[in-house]
Amino acid sequence: MKKLGIIAGKGTLPVTIAEEAKKQGYKVVIIALDPVADSINGSADRIYRINVGKFGKLIDTLKKEGIKEVIMAGKVSKTLLYKNRTIIPDVRALKLLMKLPDRKDDTILSAITEELEKEGIYLLETAHLTKNLLIKEGVLTKRKPSKDEKRDIEFGFRIAKEIGRLDIGQTVVVKDRAVMAVEAIEGTDEAIKRGGQLAGKGAVVVKVGKPQQDMRFDVPVVGLETLKAMYSVGATVLAAEAGTTILVDKEESVSFANKHRISILGIKF
């Protein structure tokens, strides 16, 4: 039987991938990263909860299970490196962190990928088994963006691509062709709330892949939680790059958006 490892952070995406993998005949082993991973009981053949700082233990567990291919899915915030005192890196994690030239997302995740490959463990694209989750070009909701919102989308797309190129974040909040917020270490939802509070009602949220996007890690993801954050501050449009951004909880997300007059669309420029 084919085996697949899933390194799981926060959110529903790890469970969705695990369920699809089992349908396709994989034996699924999930490494749920404490303290961020949500409950995933019953969605895999075997589940291990491992502290996010214990990189050596993670590798040893994958090797013990005979895992050669893994998928990373779910959010792991870098704020854990600075705020959470329960994250105590093991020797292998410390060695990895000490040799990094910086702590940008791509720098950290590329180094993790290289360490896994040294052990014969290869990282697959996040959507390797679930390409149907990648948002397609076009409007998904009943409400379409207005002419002004379309101008904000195009403006925001260019800005988001630039912050992606710099590996700062993937999301911008804009209104009237002005930037209200740029996503950084706090994550998408907090950036939306911050930008929406500054903009008032009618802000546009744009999320894109980086120009140098590696589809194996840090893939842009939106879903119901994104929309709830938008609704809390009166944001009216979620524009996500088609073919690069994963939309989780699609039915619930579209239903929520329709109920609250929010437009969701996949974009390409």
- Please state, in angstroms and rounded to a whole number, the distance separating the CA atoms of residues 199 and 11: 27
Q: What is the pLDDT of residues 43-80, one digit of tens each?
A: 899 999 999 999 999 999 999 999 999 999 999 888 77
- Please state, in angstroms and rounded to a whole number, the distance separating the CA atoms of residues 260 and 88: 42
pLDDT at 268: 96
Q: What is the pLDDT of residues 185-233, one digit of tens each?
A: 999 999 999 999 999 999 999 999 999 999 999 999 999 999 999 999 9
Higher pLDDT, 207 or 89: 207
Residue with tokens 């409400």: 143
Does position 82 have pLDDT exceeding 80, yes or no?
A: no
Q: Which of 193, 181, 177, 185 is nearest to 226 (CA)?
A: 193
All CATH 3.40.140.80 domain ranges of the chain, comma separated, are 134-267
Q: Assign 85 a pLDDT band (cuts: 50, 70, 90).
A: low
All CATH 3.40.50.20 domain ranges of the chain, comma separated, are 3-123
Cα 147 to Cα 53, 141, 156, 267: the distances in Å are 47, 16, 14, 15
% residues pLDDT > 70 (the chain): 99
Q: What is the pLDDT of residues 99-156, one digit of tens each?
A: 999 999 999 999 999 999 999 999 999 999 999 999 999 999 999 999 999 999 999 9
Does position 174 have pLDDT exceeding 80, yes or no?
A: yes
Does position 42 have pLDDT exceeding 80, yes or no?
A: no
pLDDT at 84: 63
E runs forming strands in the chain: 3-8, 27-34, 46-51, 69-73, 122-123, 138-139, 171-175, 178-182, 204-207, 221-222, 237-241, 246-247, 263-267
pLDDT at 48: 96
pLDDT at 40: 82
CATH 3.30.110.40 is right for the domain spanning 3-123: no
pLDDT at 79: 79
Contacts for 118 with CB less than 8 Å, ≥ 6 apart: none
Q: Assign 39 a pLDDT band (cuts: 50, 70, 90).
A: confident
Residue with tokens 């791509």: 106
Q: In the predicted model, what is the mean pLDDT of residues 166-188? A: 97
> What is the architecture, at CATH level 2, of domain 134-267?
3-Layer(aba) Sandwich (3.40)
Residue with tokens 């854990």: 80
Cα 237 to Cα 42, 93, 114, 193: the distances in Å are 35, 40, 38, 14
